[in-house]
Chains A and B, each alone.
Chain A
């Protein structure tokens, strides 16, 4: 399948930004290097899309991609660059909202881009057993026995190990809408 065909086959459970990023990485232009716009253009698009998926977008990034695409379309050395540019352009047009939400660091609707997902411990479910704290390799969970545990979002790396360790199903993931949770450990209600 060509890059364009793959772009056109994106399903709802896929993140368009993520798919496009992988496609650009796998594209011939990224392993050729014979022309500036094909290679350096692809390099820039990859770096920017990667930042999108990692919630590190900057203002003006969408325009930057459009600038690169515009040049690649007319100034690449061969049709590969033109084809890639067309695919990126179409993808951004078709999935405009996804790209804008990533660019605004708001959300990854498909829930694919891990950095947009946060982990939370629901106060009403937590028994204060401490299993999650033991499982966390980044010391991102605060709490003590019989207290509702709290995930320090600054420390959390979204590895998901706490969720696996929790027998109470107290840990959930969240996208754009976050559950209400205590800011610091409080005594448990559930025993």
Chain B
């Protein structure tokens, strides 16, 4: 068994692990970071940027939101059911963290919000301008994956500071000595055990999105049946299991809900094409929310999760399709461009021919419901009501935006089933505002830290999209706070 000795060992080199590694090293610690895959950045490589409140960029863009206001908004959104000290320290750190990233050479195109709600539906649903979107290195327009430019800069910074990365080396176990974390055991790419002794340990493994058994056990969802979450390879709950094994307190993990088509990578155009405020019904054929909220993936994911069978059906007719093709979709997003309907026919015809299971096309509405597995009678009654309301120009049930009230009447009809999706998992390991791991009695387990999504217990039941960029925001700031504290511990030790 190979053996190493260092000040701080960080488990996993995703966004939170990178932040922890850099801040520990900046504060004088020798750092070894072990990583299961062979790249840095983890799930953040798919993202576009983190939250920050009170950054230089925000001030330049005249965004007046203060950390204190953001803190209060967050607490109202979560009904004070989460640890206010952690939330407070996170938001008060977050603005300066953006400046810190800029000093590292990370550039941002500016600050945005992920979701703007229509004027009359803003309460609890409007996004703040907190999302710092990373500028690609060539100065181009940012798209999905833009945050890789940040993880690269962070990796370079970490290396510059002497952080030693060990790739394809998953940690297996936290070493404990006298009730204090004292290192980890990992396994290298040849299957050989590696022992890393350290003064403190920071766990940052990114949750358990790729562990269907654990998802079932911890959240009740069944992967591939009731939930279709992002399953980033390697995110198997290693960090949670290791922490729990050494006595960490448990918090209820949640899935970071949204909604999604199964195997959406191969059917991406449909994902965007049906993410429109057309007609949405549940398995009984009934509408279940004002469709003008469909762009809010958190709310829609939540809504679908309480429908029978945890499914919904988005439906439009040829007339609406023609409109989308001609004028572009009603709702666009960063991943679903305005011209997506140009490629709709090609994708749709191929998927119908291949028998892609969530999609249905029919010449009558009865046949459509029948084929899709929607209650025919309920659906026909709903259609009649809906079309009448469209003609009248007012949605008496949900008061959906008039603009989107268009009758479903012209064949052929198109239907796509929507499933509950999720970005990954959130939380599970109990921590305090220093990101120290606590036991079941909420007493500190010395020298053990847990950061990022493994310990993100501050979102309550739903992702707080009102403060955009929150997942990455918590990852980077919790990592940074843990790194600083781990390094400070070392000073005490030497002194």
Residues on A close to B: CB < 8 A? Answer: 56, 138-139, 154-155, 157
Chain B 304-342 per-residue mask, 1 if CB under 8 angstroms from chain A, else 0: 000000000000000100100011000000000001001
Residue in chain B with minimal CB distance to A47: B342
A56 and B342 form a contact (CB under 8 A): yes
For A154, list chain B residues within 8 Å (CB): 326-327
B339 and A138 form a contact (CB under 8 A): no
Residue in chain A with minimal CB distance to B410: A139
A138 and B322 form a contact (CB under 8 A): yes
Residue in chain B with minimal CB distance to A157: B322
> In the docked arrangement, what's the CA distance between A60 and B327, Å?
20
Interface size class of B (residues with CB under 8 A): under 10
A56 and B339 form a contact (CB under 8 A): yes
For B326, list chain A residues within 8 Å (CB): 154
> In the docked arrangement, what's the CA distance between A157 and B318, Å?
13
For B327, list chain A residues within 8 Å (CB): 154
For B322, list chain A residues within 8 Å (CB): 138, 155, 157
For B339, list chain A residues within 8 Å (CB): 56
Chain A contact residues: helix, strand, loop or mixed: loop
Residue in chain B with minimal CB distance to A58: B339
> In the docked arrangement, what's the CA distance between A138 and B321, Å?
12
CB distance from A61 to the nearest CB of B (A): 12
Complex A-B: 7 CB contacts under 8 Å:
A56-B339, A56-B342, A139-B319, A139-B410, A154-B327, A155-B322, A157-B322
> In the docked arrangement, what's the CA distance between A56 and B327, Å?
11
For A56, list chain B residues within 8 Å (CB): 339, 342
For A139, list chain B residues within 8 Å (CB): 319, 410
Residues on B close to A: CB < 8 A? Answer: 319, 322, 326-327, 339, 342, 410
> In the docked arrangement, what's the CA distance between A139 and B318, Å?
12
For A138, list chain B residues within 8 Å (CB): 322
For B410, list chain A residues within 8 Å (CB): 139
> In the docked arrangement, what's the CA distance between A155 and B410, Å?
13
CB distance from A163 to the nearest CB of B (A): 20
Given contacts A56-B342, A154-B326, A157-B322, 6 further A-B contacts (CB under 8 A): A56-B339, A138-B322, A139-B319, A139-B410, A154-B327, A155-B322
> In the docked arrangement, what's the CA distance between A139 and B326, Å?
15
> In the docked arrangement, what's the CA distance between A139 and B319, Å?
10
> In the docked arrangement, what's the CA distance between A56 and B339, Å?
9
> In the docked arrangement, what's the CA distance between A63 and B28, Å?
50
> In the docked arrangement, what's the CA distance between A102 and B339, Å?
18
For A157, list chain B residues within 8 Å (CB): 322
> In the docked arrangement, what's the CA distance between A154 and B327, Å?
9
CB distance from A126 to the nearest CB of B (A): 25
6 closest pairs, A vs B, by CB?
A154-B326, A56-B339, A138-B322, A56-B342, A155-B322, A157-B322
> In the docked arrangement, what's the CA distance between A157 and B339, Å?
18
CB distance from A152 to the nearest CB of B (A): 11
> In the docked arrangement, what's the CA distance between A125 and B19, Å?
74
CB distance from B322 to the nearest CB of A (A): 7
CB distance from B41 to the nearest CB of A (A): 24
> In the docked arrangement, what's the CA distance between A56 and B319, Å?
20
> In the docked arrangement, what's the CA distance between A139 and B339, Å?
24
Residue in chain A with minimal CB distance to B325: A157
> In the docked arrangement, what's the CA distance between A139 and B409, Å?
13
CB distance from A19 to the nearest CB of B (A): 22
> In the docked arrangement, what's the CA distance between A138 and B318, Å?
10
> In the docked arrangement, what's the CA distance between A154 and B325, Å?
11
> In the docked arrangement, what's the CA distance between A149 and B226, Å?
52
CB distance from A142 to the nearest CB of B (A): 15
> In the docked arrangement, what's the CA distance between A155 and B327, Å?
11
> In the docked arrangement, what's the CA distance between A157 and B322, Å?
9
> In the docked arrangement, what's the CA distance between A138 and B326, Å?
13
For B319, list chain A residues within 8 Å (CB): 139
CB distance from B369 to the nearest CB of A (A): 24
CB distance from B194 to the nearest CB of A (A): 39
CB distance from B409 to the nearest CB of A (A): 10
> In the docked arrangement, what's the CA distance between A56 and B343, Å?
13
> In the docked arrangement, what's the CA distance between A157 and B319, Å?
12
CB distance from A96 to the nearest CB of B (A): 26
CB distance from A38 to the nearest CB of B (A): 22
Residue in chain A with minimal CB distance to B326: A154
For B342, list chain A residues within 8 Å (CB): 56
> In the docked arrangement, what's the CA distance between A157 and B342, Å?
15
> In the docked arrangement, what's the CA distance between A155 and B322, Å?
8
> In the docked arrangement, what's the CA distance between A59 and B288, Å?
41
Residue in chain A with minimal CB distance to B327: A154
CB distance from B138 to the nearest CB of A (A): 12
CB distance from A25 to the nearest CB of B (A): 15
> In the docked arrangement, what's the CA distance between A51 and B410, Å?
27
Residue in chain A with minimal CB distance to B339: A56
Residue in chain B with minimal CB distance to A54: B342
CB distance from A138 to the nearest CB of B (A): 7
Residue in chain A with minimal CB distance to B323: A154
